[in-house]
Structure 1
Amino acid sequence: MKALILTNRVPFPPNSGYPIVVYNTIKGLLHLGVEVTLFSINTAKHNVDVDDIYDPVFEKINFHSYNIDTEVNIWGAFFNIFSNQSYNVSRFYDDDAAKLLEHVLHDHDFDVVQFEGLFVVPYLDTVKEFSKAKLIYRAHNIEFDVWEKLAVLEQFTPRRKYLEFLSRRLKVYETEQINRFHQVFAISEPDRQSILLMGCETKLAVFPVAIDFDKYNVDTSKTSFPTLFHLGAMDWRPNKEGLEWFLDEIWPDIEKLNGELRFYIAGKNMQKQFFDYDSENLIVEGEIFDAVEFMNSKAIMIVPLLSGSGMRVKIIEGMAMEKCIIATTMAAEGINCKPGKDILIADTADEFYRSILQCITKPNRWREIGENARKTVKRDHEMNTNAERMLRIYEDLILN
């Protein structure tokens, strides 16, 4: 079995949501004997020096990448208004990248080609022209939904109008492309329902975030209490907005509960405003070297997302590390968890306050929820089990 995987960024190292999903997909398929070729758009925003990649998974694949600057250009954004293209997507396409992909397709006879996310779909025509492989699209998010929700939250009218415009363009593009594949993978059941409402008539299956449990070793002797933490890339707008809301509306009251309580926030591209926040009990770590070790050392994970789509990888990782997660309904969407058993759901300031108070005053409560959380993700998100199911779908597509 030969598989070509297309990605909109290099998934090495696997240190955030999208790279973790892709990396574990590749690792699981390699374990089953699949020959994997990876073609990645190496963006300026998430640029990786491929010569510095030292990873056993990387050594086992055929790898190709092309550097593209996908940063938003004010003039490009302006002139795009007068085209019929989605600016979000078109920034990831380059003619020379398509030519490189063409050479890869000439050199290999692939059985399947998997498009990891909407932003590599502009290369679909190239693949269709130069390959007879079965074509698979994995929707990491319902992209237009992310921008619709951001527009609803935006108070500055001109910016809100532009976000609405971008979401409409994205919706048209996603809807047009969804039936051009032989198979579609949704990241969650709610996303599967959304894809069906978009008019999907092709085969559709749910493949949640899969993780390698060998990486998530829990050592409770290193966990400090009482501690809260937030972990996420701060260049993703929903993370930034959710954390701002929590710090402004909830944290001032939470901080008064216990003089020893500490709230740690970590993630790459941490903005200056968070370092300047006036709170003695708030510790801003910025980008951290080892996310698993960071999670192991803290007790309660806060995920106050107000917008977004897909499945939150950091929640899955936190559950694997036996963390008690306190999250909004939006943040937990798509995860097969039971509120009060393996997660705590809070959508208002008062609900967050009561949930945190409960965990601080009843330590056994947060430990029990964390233990249940680990069992839940072990059942639904184990890497090799998901890879085996994915390979069976590949084989069925080829046979039929």
Structure 2
Amino acid sequence: MSEILFLAHRVPFPPDRGDKIRSHHLLKGLAKLGPVHVGTFGETALDMAQKPALAGIAKTHALIHRAKPLPLAGAEALLRVRPVSLTAFEDATMHRYVAKTLTNHPVETIFVFSGQMGQYIPDGYRGRVVFDLCDVDSAKFEAYAEAGQRRWINRREGRLLAREEERLAHRADVTLLISENEAELFRSRVDDPTAVRLRPLGNGIDAAFFDPAPVALQPDLEEGEDPQLVFTGQMDYAPNIAAAEWMIEEIMPALRKTYARARFHIVGRAPVKSLRDRHGENGTRVWGEVPDVRPYLKSADLVVAPLLIARGVQNKVLEAMAMARPVVLTPGAATGIDACDGEHFAIARAEPASMLARIEVLLAEPERARAMGRAARRFVVDRMSWDGVEAALAELVGKRASARDAA
């Protein structure tokens, strides 16, 4: 098979956060189909230490340190009327790597992971383009604005990013969205939905890794008889911050009227100061980054995913389900997971009374909660494997779509 150029805005190693988990497994799947070249960015020392991992999977690679300060990217974006999120990832070295790779290697497919990397597709490239949008980022920025967060900036970002998303969808042979719901949302936002080819491609879960059987319990969550609630994720990400603060302010005070020593554990890297400052408030413990999230999940009485703004499939939910935990989540956090409310997880409206009610029912009926956890694990093992996702890649990067051949 001819060769593939894979472009990702974050290095796909280690697979330790939502977007990197997806890009990691997509890259592994593509590498099974033929030689892959990888252009990607790193920000931290850990990111930049991933060159051996890239060398082990890619024929060639460029791991470029991205150090452009956000204020500088914002100023450039304002002057050039571009989205900040594109300007932040604009880099001359990456342009040179792409041009050199396309000149020196028989690259038939460019696989673009995330909207930030679409700017690197040369205008004259005539091969196949697969654009993995994952979820509709422009809609996310609009939701931030509607929620009162930096209204002018987020409205502007949403508007300009929507133009770029539509441009890339027209440029691509196929645009991937993480769920049919996201695909429908995207169709509703383009001028001519028939002019773009969209396809849902969900996330998977490594159910062998997220298997509770061999995992030890987390001792700090085993003390006391009152319930332990766990929320996981990247804790400098705005939707996760908002969800954690909502739990602290709206749910935990009411829950502790019934369970005086109930605890809410926030587990995930890079918690912002506003969260760290709330350590101890209403039974909250902010852990920050931990070596392994699985013991925290295994020891939780409930896992919560109270996302008020959510796009795409939430890996944190799949991980908790694979660990056989009962999960209480909002409708947004359940998007793209074709499981049954009340059997595989418990969906609560994004309002305190509904969330509290679903939590308290499961806490009051531990056998029901355990049965939900067992059903959740069976669901992800049977329906949400990465093998199924990887199997779809052969078609996606195979024979060109008839529409592009005709053009």
Query: What is the TM-score normalised by the length of structure 2?
Result: 0.88
Q: Does 1:193 align with 2:184?
A: yes
| 1:246-291: CA deviation from partner (whole Å, max 9, x where unpaired) | 1111111112322453221111111233333243732221111112
Q: Does 1:267 align with 2:268?
A: yes
Q: 1:217 aligns with which of 192, 211, 223?
A: 211
How big is the shift at 1:58? 5.7
The residue correspondences of 1:40-189 to structure 2 (distance < 5 A) are 40-42=40-42, 44=43, 46=44, 48-51=46-49, 55=53, 59-62=56-59, 63-73=61-71, 76-78=73-75, 80-125=77-122, 128-129=123-124, 131-154=125-148, 159-189=150-180
Distance in 2 (alpha carbons) for counterparts of 1:269 and 1:222: 23
Distance in 2 (alpha carbons) for counterparts of 1:355 and 1:38: 45
Q: For 1:168, what is the secondary structure of its paired residue?
A: helix
Distance in 2 (alpha carbons) for counterparts of 1:59 and 1:229: 35
For the structure 1 residues 98 and 240, does the alpha-carbon distance in structure 2 shift closer, same or farther, using more than 3 Å as the test?
same
Distance in 2 (alpha carbons) for counterparts of 1:92 and 1:76: 9
How big is the shift at 1:49? 4.5
Cross-structure match for 1:366: 369
381-390 or 143-152, larger mean C-alpha shift: 381-390
| 1:60-81: CA deviation from partner (whole Å, max 9, x where unpaired) | 32332222224311x5524533
Distance in 1 (alpha carbons) for counterparts of 2:4 and 2:76: 37
Query: Given that residues 85 and 169 in structure 1 are in contact (C-alpha distance below 8 angstroms), is that contact kept between their aligned partners in structure 2?
Result: yes
Distance in 2 (alpha carbons) for counterparts of 1:135 and 1:227: 46
Cross-structure match for 1:357: 360
User: Aligned AA for 1:180?
Assistant: R
For the structure 1 residues 150 and 259, does the alpha-carbon distance in structure 2 shift closer, same or farther, using more than 3 Å as the test?
same
Cross-structure match for 1:394: 397
User: Aligned AA for 2:38?
Assistant: L
Cross-structure match for 2:385: 382
Q: For 1:397, what is the secondary structure of its paired residue?
A: coil
User: Aligned AA for 2:249?
Assistant: D
Query: Given that residues 80 and 87 in structure 1 are in contact (C-alpha distance below 8 angstroms), is that contact kept between their aligned partners in structure 2?
Result: yes
Query: What is the TM-score normalised by the length of structure 1?
Result: 0.90
How big is the shift at 1:314? 1.2
User: Aligned AA for 1:303?
Assistant: A
| 1:89-144: CA deviation from partner (whole Å, max 9, x where unpaired) | 1221112220122112223212321100101011012xx53x54311001122011
User: Aligned AA for 1:381?
Assistant: M
Distance in 2 (alpha carbons) for counterparts of 1:161 and 1:20: 32
Q: 1:330 aligns with which of 329, 332, 337?
A: 332
251-260 or 341-350, larger mean C-alpha shift: 251-260
347-356 or 280-289, larger mean C-alpha shift: 280-289
User: Aligned AA for 1:332?
Assistant: A
How big is the shift at 1:227? 1.7
Query: Given that residues 111 and 398 in structure 1 are in contact (C-alpha distance below 8 angstroms), is that contact kept between their aligned partners in structure 2?
Result: no
For the structure 1 residues 215 and 176, does the alpha-carbon distance in structure 2 shift closer, same or farther, using more than 3 Å as the test?
same
- Taking only aligned residues, the RMSD between alpha carbons, in angstroms, comes to 2.3
Distance in 2 (alpha carbons) for counterparts of 1:147 and 1:103: 34
Cross-structure match for 2:303: 301
User: Aligned AA for 2:57?
Assistant: K
User: Aligned AA for 1:14?
Assistant: P
Distance in 2 (alpha carbons) for counterparts of 1:289 and 1:53: 21
Structure 2: 5+ residue runs without aligned partners? none
Q: For 1:311, what is the secondary structure of its paired residue?
A: coil
Cross-structure match for 1:36: 36
Query: Given that residues 173 and 197 in structure 2 are in contact (C-alpha distance below 8 angstroms), is that contact kept between their aligned partners in structure 1?
Result: yes
Query: Given that residues 217 and 295 in structure 2 are in contact (C-alpha distance below 8 angstroms), is that contact kept between their aligned partners in structure 1?
Result: no
User: Aligned AA for 2:91?
Assistant: D
User: Aligned AA for 1:166?
Assistant: E
Q: How many residues align?
A: 389
User: Aligned AA for 1:40?
Assistant: T
Distance in 2 (alpha carbons) for counterparts of 1:99 and 1:29: 23
How big is the shift at 1:240? 0.5
Distance in 2 (alpha carbons) for counterparts of 1:344 and 1:53: 41
Identity of aligned residues (%): 22
Q: For 1:39, what is the secondary structure of its paired residue?
A: strand
172-181 or 211-220, larger mean C-alpha shift: 211-220
User: Aligned AA for 1:90?
Assistant: T
183-192 or 274-283, larger mean C-alpha shift: 274-283
Question: Relative contact order (alpha carbons < 8 A, sep ≥ 6): 1 or 2 greater?
Answer: 1
Query: Given that residues 173 and 401 in structure 2 are in contact (C-alpha distance below 8 angstroms), is that contact kept between their aligned partners in structure 1?
Result: no
| 1:198-250: CA deviation from partner (whole Å, max 9, x where unpaired) | 23423321110122222112138737573210111111111101111111111
Q: For 1:111, what is the secondary structure of its paired residue?
A: strand
For the structure 1 residues 152 and 291, does the alpha-carbon distance in structure 2 shift closer, same or farther, using more than 3 Å as the test?
same
Structure 1: 5+ residue runs without aligned partners? none
For the structure 1 residues 53 and 205, does the alpha-carbon distance in structure 2 shift closer, same or farther, using more than 3 Å as the test?
same
How big is the shift at 1:351? 1.2
Q: For 1:293, what is the secondary structure of its paired residue?
A: helix
How big is the shift at 1:12? 0.9
User: Aligned AA for 1:20?
Assistant: I
